[in-house]
Structure 1
Amino acid sequence: MPIFHVIIPAAGAGSRMGSQVPKQYLPLSGRPMIEQTLRVFSSSNRISSVAVLLSADDLEWDAAKIQISDKTRIYRCGGIIRSQTVLNGLGELSGHIDPDDWVLVHDAARPGLTDGLLNRLLDKLENDAVGGLLAIPLADTLKRADDEQRVAHTEPRDHLWQAQTPQMFRYGMLVEALKLAAEKSSVATDEAQAIEALGHHPKLVLGELRNLKVTYPEDLALIEAILQADVSRLAVKTN
């Protein structure tokens, strides 16, 4: 039976939000955003463990009194960039995870993941040779800008997908990929890019728009509205 573990890198500052508080701690439905992000993994009986990776000088976690499950562990091992944080976290888990176990890496500021999306990812990839990620086909037209912020040309969008998380790969393969990226001083903006550098081809699993990453203030308002709509639909079903 496949075993699934989750890593949540939460060592970033989220500077594009323009907030003094790291965005993963911003309030969402009255609680810190990261608590909502963790909830779907905590409630899934298919997930064996959850590791939250903080920076060594994080002062917000304890102050926020995040509610976590018994299978969640906190590690203060954040690096300068995301790939370093994830690699550090994988190192913390060494000896507790088999090389063939699955690791799902999920953004701390992506609180719209549902049980349905999580199970879709697990079902599609649990027997895959490589692994993969949630993603959505690109719908908007892409414009490449010049140095004066004028359109240089239009990029064809055929076969283009927008990557989401979780991104799911075998523990051993992911460690190898991120170590190689570190040795080459190459910046992998997500785990799939590091896996690609090994010559593998991650599978794209259809995600949903609601699984957006909160990056700008308007994103927070949008995901708040989505979660409130979830609550309203649930209330209608139970009445």
Structure 2
Amino acid sequence: MMTSNSCWAVVPAAGVGKRMQADRPKQYLPLNGKTVIEHTLERLLLSGCFQAISVAISLEDPYWPELSIATHADVITAPGGKERADSVLSALKSLQGRANENDWVLVHDAARPCLTSSDIKQLIDRLKEDTVGGILALPSHDTLKRVQGNSITASVDRQTIWRALTPQMFRYGMLRDALLRAEGNPAITDEASALELMGLQPKIIEGRPDNIKITRPEDLALAQFYMEQQS
């Protein structure tokens, strides 16, 4: 894997994860002997792809300073924002003066601890010459329904539907400008949507189905299972 531009990672980790119904944000829940976010960051570090990783953390977060990985030489702490886009933008600003405009930034969810180096390297290899960038994603295998209230109004053609994963990979300057332009827009639920708002068309790279996002309590057991399978 070779790319003429440096690669940086950004991990927005200022969310509280209300759906987990836990006593702490989901990124700090125990998983296989560590916290979720420790697994996530270790996977990114072990890939050997990144100059540094900027992690956006809530200013009121009491858990992050307790983790040894928070003081890792290649981990930068940035202030988290109210929304995901705010945190990503803050993390990008923390790389100012280090990252060049055309360097690549890979944004990855803190709650996706099963990411593999092979998926990271595939994403970089496939997109390193692209003018826009793109994301890991999975085609939908389920039948999809459009719903109003609790009634089905139509079936959706699943041939054109993919589930967005992370990392999402874009040029440093392009992503920063897209997020600045889209600031406050509730339609920006991931980085690709900010680029789409600019009229650009990010690419889709099929990722691994075990790259799950921990959202609900039962996802922890599934992540543990996938980690055991991967090892």
Instruction: Judge same fold: TM > 0.5, yes or no.
Output: yes
Q: Which residue pairs with 2:15 in the alignment?
A: 12
Go from structure 1 to structure 2 and tell me whether the alpha carbon gap of 1:191 and 1:179 turns closer, same or farther (over 3 Å shift).
same
Deviation at 1:146, TM superposition (A): 2.1
Alpha-carbon separation, structure 1, partners of 2:71 and 2:40: 11
Kindly indicate whether the alpha-carbon contact (under 8 Å) linking 1:42 and 1:68 is maintained by their aligned counterparts in 2. Answer: no
> What is the SS of the residue equivalent to 1:196?
helix
- What letter corresponds to residue 210 of structure 2 in structure 1? R
Alpha-carbon separation, structure 2, partners of 1:66 and 1:227: 20
Task: Report how many residues are paired.
Answer: 228
Unpaired runs of 5+ in structure 1? 232-239
- Which residue, 38, 43, 55 being the options, matches 1:40? 43
Q: Which residue pairs with 1:236 in the alignment?
A: none
Deviation at 1:154, TM superposition (A): 1.6
Q: Which residue pairs with 1:136 in the alignment?
A: 138
Kindly indicate whether the alpha-carbon contact (under 8 Å) linking 1:53 and 1:78 is maintained by their aligned counterparts in 2. Answer: yes
Question: TM-score scaled by structure 1?
Answer: 0.91
| 1:107-142 superposed Cα distances (whole Å, 9 cap, x missing partner) | 000011101111100100111110000001111011
Unpaired runs of 5+ in structure 2? none
Alpha-carbon separation, structure 2, partners of 1:187 and 1:87: 16
Alpha-carbon separation, structure 1, partners of 2:33 and 2:153: 44
Supply the RMSD in Å over aligned alpha carbons: 1.4
Alpha-carbon separation, structure 1, partners of 2:60 and 2:47: 30
Kindly indicate whether the alpha-carbon contact (under 8 Å) linking 2:69 and 2:75 is maintained by their aligned counterparts in 1. Answer: no
Alpha-carbon separation, structure 1, partners of 2:160 and 2:201: 14
1:173 aligns with 2:186: no
Alpha-carbon separation, structure 2, partners of 1:155 and 1:78: 36
Kindly indicate whether the alpha-carbon contact (under 8 Å) linking 1:83 and 1:187 is maintained by their aligned counterparts in 2. Answer: no
Q: Which residue pairs with 1:82 in the alignment?
A: 84
Deviation at 1:214, TM superposition (A): 0.7
Alpha-carbon separation, structure 2, partners of 1:175 and 1:49: 17
Q: Which residue pairs with 2:187 in the alignment?
A: 187
Alpha-carbon separation, structure 1, partners of 2:225 and 2:169: 28
Alpha-carbon separation, structure 1, partners of 2:65 and 2:89: 24
